[in-house]
Amino acid sequence: MHLAAASLLAGALLTPSAPVEPVTVFVELNSAAAVDTRTAAQARSARDRTSAQASRVLSRSGGREIARTTNAVPGVVLAADRSRVPALARLPEVRAVHRMVPKQLTNSHAARLTRTSDAWKSFGRFGDGVRIGIVDTGIDYRHAAFGGGSFPNAKVVGGHDFAGDAYTGKPGAVPAPDADPLDCQGHGTHVAGTAAGFGVNADGSTYRGSYSSVDLDSMKIGPGTAPRALLYALKVFGCGGGTTLTAQALDWALDPDGDGDFSDKLDVVNLSLGGDFGAADDPDSLFVRKLVEHGVVVVAAAGNGGDLYDVAGSPANTPEAISVANSRDAFAMLDGLEALGRRWPGQYSQAYKGPLDLTLPVVRLSSGADGCQPIPTPLTGKIVWLEWDDDDATRACGSGARTDNAWRAGAAGVLLPTTLPVFSAAIAGNAHIPAFQLTEAASRALRPALEGGTLTVRLTSSLKLAVPSVEPSIADTITPSSSRSRSSIAVAAPGDTIFSAASGTASSGASMGGTSMAAPHVAGIAALLREAHPDWTVAEVKAALVNTASGVVRSGSGVREAPMRVGSGRVDGLAALSADVLALGDAAFGTVEVATPLTDLRTIRLVNKGTSTVRLNARHEPITTVPGVSFQVMKPRVVLPPGGTETVTVRLRIAGPDALRKTPDPTVSLAGGRQHLAEASGLVLFSGDRSLQVPVYAAPKPVSRLGLTSDRVTGYGLDQPDYRARMTVLRLGASSPRLPDCGPDVQDGCAVNRTARSGDLRHVGATATGDLLAFGVATWDTWANVAGNTQPEVRFSVGGKDFVTRAVKQSNGGGVTADVWFARTKVVSTGEVVDEQPLNGFDGSVDTNLFDSDVVVLPVSRSVLPPGPVSYTVGMRSNYTAPADSDDLVDVAPAAVFDYDLIVPELSTVVQRGDRIPPGSLVFFHHNASGNRALTR
């Protein structure tokens, strides 16, 4: 962006109003973790010391206890007045204070697709005796999938309700724990059934037969992937809302009976929960790492944020966890209607809750009529067929508007067709009449009868979730809602339209979708591995899953998905159980700034767990490519004797900045000016006596080497296809020192972790052209995603009117839908959005280095602002603010005033190398390397 600089005047700070809610923090104590002791007696002593410290801290905090942890990371979660936090941190018992970030909730045919049922038959492994913790909404242990009866029973052998039904996870919410982890939402029950349910026979009874010869097609609900494993229900949610109790449940998982003997720790923990744009240094990640250190496999849902860069959630992005993406299998249990002498699959509308059993003729309006306009034709006693546009961008109206118009015309129901092989979303309809959307195959089959005037259908509630549908074309395709990451996703698993146990129904099932449903599929396979190899480390169990996940997952258009969406591929239970050679480590190079030609190395350690010599050939298989970037396996042939190990080096070579081009992942849509990354990815493939694979990833970007020598712009820029070095010249408004690390003596105005550093302000400034006012923000560290965990906010006053401009992503009803960034300006008094401008002045068709940067420009159209000087202050919002923070801002820069009527004339044009920069300027070199993008003159 090329903008003018302008003069600087003095001004006053505009302070946003502070919330009145208490703050929820995890107080980490100066005590030994019980799990790190050597004997049960020492563990009990450590736990007693921690409990005593926690009680002293609580008595001095004036707060309310939410949870207490002693095994993994000693501490106490409490809700307290923000003003009490600094004194709390100075207590001698306290090591650190962490702000808690609430987490949200994010089969038989799937077991066949992943060959888990084949593994049962081939290896006779069913998870016997393996302990799986379901950290979720609880489990309805009364359901036939878990044997029924009271708690505990033969399947749900333990657990705890850490929350209580009324707990919501909101700031200040205090749980009411009890001993009974009965589910009151349904999510945890469904998850538990996928991981380790017994299965339910057609007559509704619990399956008690052999899993080596089970007839999956005859069952009402199929078995979980580890059908004989033992379940522990760790209930951290109430009947609604989020949770800050995940850490307490993970702590409990190390010692379920609390006797200080950790031999009864859980073997596998499933976390089908998290938060989008999560940070690997989230407080819950401390507990994940401690569990892994002590031999507990942690499987976590990657999140349902969709195809957005960096949206994958925490704690799934903890490197030690096994993060699971969501792919599809061909099977779905759908709703149904009757027509032409058989049942047809589809979905009933959500809003209609009345009784349902209608048999009526179906009529259509004029050709192509969609019902988005009022319907003049009387439709009394008929069901009306209304055409449906599957393109969200061009659809004239939704199902609610169509159903309303049909109801007003007297219709008894609505039929909607589709041209897609799988539904992209549910339909709402209205509360007055039922609506039903047919699958693509059903739409095609019933249309001739419709056109011939002979179609009659029966809509009945007895066919809800009662008609199986098999669509082979969608098997091993990505579910669009599955989150994108850089390199944290390990594998994919079926998670769309999964049919599993329904809470509160005794023996019925429910169809749910999401990474929450994919993760327990993998947790069950991990349990089979734990049973087969109790001496393997967590890293080895993870490697077995990753190395053998050879199912190729594709986009809806048939393009292969890369590790950023699906890790190494769709999990394969049979191959994982067959693995006796493992490839440990990864070949993730992350973001690579390229100023000169470079090479970098990663190592993969091969281990032969078998009893025979193994010969392997190694090569790199690209999936997404970037010109000028190559990967090479330095040792193409490896011989591993029994019990032997070997190290293989993967070399990344980049020819230089001039060779790079910004080529997108071919599955990424660039519509609407979307921002994107250039990412080189693929797999290191080992073939020969065994087949293994390890994901490879790098995100290279060229960097300029521009700077200021005295008062002139000097150095080397970028001028090539896709990349052109850009700079912004602003009038310096204020500089801010680097925040101290949070510690005992500093609990506000400090950085709690590396993620918070990307909100630590360094410089702010403003400038203008004839059409735009623009604010510049520079921080002390880089953000991965400017509108993810870090959000610049400018509050300013001009002409007696207050405004706020924030960096935001394009949204639809509050949900982010694309990597399209704007500076969105609102009037403070009314909340009215008066302007949106692309960040840095350009949409994604022009690269301005928005990802992995520490400078950004927020423009505002001058046409929406009154004339006069602008008083402004800049703050940085984040999920990871200081424990005693009172405004949800990591940092606030000193206030400044900018008068855009006093623009320096010589800087109102494009700045070139060699041009003079006047004193008092702030210069952004957007494409420079980290730490060198913001300079002052």
pLDDT at res. 83: 82
Position 108 scores a pLDDT of: 55
pLDDT at 25: 87
596-702 CATH, one of 3.30.479.30, 2.60.40.10, 3.40.50.10490, 1.10.3720.10: 2.60.40.10
Q: Which range (98-112, 206-220, 266-280, 611-625) has the least confidence?
A: 98-112
Tokens of 399: 């199902």
The domain spans of the chain are 4-18+725-936, 23-99, 104-329+477-573, 333-467, 596-702
Q: Work out the percent of the chain whose per-residue pLDDT is above 90.
A: 73
Summarised one tens digit per residue, pLDDT across range 804-818 is 999 887 654 445 567
**pLDDT band per the 50, 70, 90 thresholds, residue 16:** very low
In this predicted model, which residue has the larger pLDDT, 420 or 206?
A: 206
Which residue in the block uniquely carries the two structure tokens 């070997």?
646
The pLDDT of residue 106: 66
Evaluate if residue 17 carries a pLDDT over 80. Answer: no
Q: How confident is the model at residue 825 (pLDDT cuts 50, 70, 90)?
A: very high
Q: Does domain 333-467 have CATH number 3.30.70.2200?
A: no
User: In this predicted structure, what is the pLDDT of residue 908?
Assistant: 38
Nearest-angstrom CA–CA distance, 749 and 743: 11
d(CA 315, CA 281): 9
**pLDDT-based confidence at residue 885 (cuts at 50, 70, 90):** confident
What pLDDT does residue 815 have? 53
Q: With bands split at pLDDT 50, 70 and 90, how would you rate the model's confidence at 78?
A: confident
Sequence-ordered list of residues with C-beta below 8 angstroms from that of 195, at least 6 positions apart, any chain = 132, 134, 224, 225, 226, 229, 231, 270, 520, 521, 523, 524, 527
- Give 125-161 pLDDT, tens digit per residue: 999 999 999 999 999 999 999 999 999 999 999 999 9
How many C-alpha atoms does 582 have within 13 Å on its Cβ side? 22
pTM equals: 0.90
Q: What is the pLDDT of residues 214-266, one digit of tens each?
A: 999 889 999 999 999 999 999 999 999 999 999 999 999 999 999 999 999 99
Q: Look at residue 196 and tell me whether its pLDDT is greater than 60.
A: yes
Highest mean pLDDT range out of 449-458, 781-790, 915-924?
A: 449-458
Pick the CATH number of 4-18+725-936 from 2.40.50, 1.20.1070, 3.40.50, 2.60.40: 2.60.40
Which pLDDT does position 112 carry in this prediction? 81
pLDDT digits (tens, 9 = 90+) for 434-466: 999 999 999 999 999 999 999 999 999 999 988
* pLDDT tens digits, 472-511: 888 999 998 899 998 889 999 999 889 999 999 999 999 8
**Average pLDDT of the residues in 680-696:** 98
The pLDDT of residue 109: 64
Given 3.30.450, 1.10.287, 3.30.70, 1.20.120, which CATH number is that of 23-99? 3.30.70
Q: How far is CA 899 from the centre of its chain?
A: 42
793-802 tens-digit pLDDT: 999 999 999 9
Q: Which residue has the tokens 């293989």?
A: 648
* Arithmetic mean of pLDDT over the chain: 91
Query: How many C-beta atoms lie closer than 10 Å to residue 812's C-beta?
Result: 9
Residue 816: the pLDDT is 57
| Same topology between domain 4-18+725-936 and domain 596-702 | yes
The 3-class SS string of 867-896 reads CCCEEEEEEEEECCCCCCCCCCEEEECCCE
Catalytic residues: 136, 187, 516
Query: What is the per-residue pLDDT across 547-565, written as a single tens digit (0 to 9) for each?
Result: 999 999 999 889 999 999 9
What is the DSSP track for 97-121? EEE---BEE--HHHHHHTTHHHHHH
pLDDT of residue 237: 96
Is CATH 3.40.50.2300 what the domain over 104-329+477-573 is classified as, yes or no?
no
Rounded Cα distance between 599 and 654, Å, is: 6
